[in-house]
Amino acid sequence: MEETTINYEKMKWTDAAGYAEGSTIEIFGKGGPDEGKTFLCKIIRGFKMEGHSDRTVERHFVLEDEYESEGKIYKARTLTD
């Protein structure tokens, strides 16, 4: 496996459609319809996402601050499955 290093502070972020205004996203890779995609998303404080289902595995890695999902708080440097 090839190692990749990414400096997220120097990336070219774009508006994140489907998220709260002011949220930005950087997409690294897209698979087929059932393979998912890999991306980083900067979400603004106070953002609320309605419950939904995903067709592929969803993992969250919190780089800064924290967020709450289903009553559980995920702090910075937390990886979820």
**6 or 68, greater pLDDT:** 68
Tell me what pLDDT residue 13 has.
87
**Using a CB cutoff of 8 Å and minimum separation of 24, what contacts does 20-29 make?**
20/44, 20/46, 20/47, 20/48, 23/47
The pTM for the full model equals: 0.62
CA angle centred on 81, ends 10 and 13, rounded to 5° = 20
Could you read off the pLDDT of 35-74 as tens digits, one per residue?
A: 777 888 888 888 777 777 777 777 778 888 888 877 888 8
Where are the domains positioned within the chain? 8-80
* Sequence letter at residue 40: L
**Residues whose CB falls within 8 Å of the CB of residue 26, separated by 6 or more in sequence, listed in order:** 8, 11, 12, 13, 14, 39, 40, 41
Alpha-carbon Rg for the chain in angstroms: 13
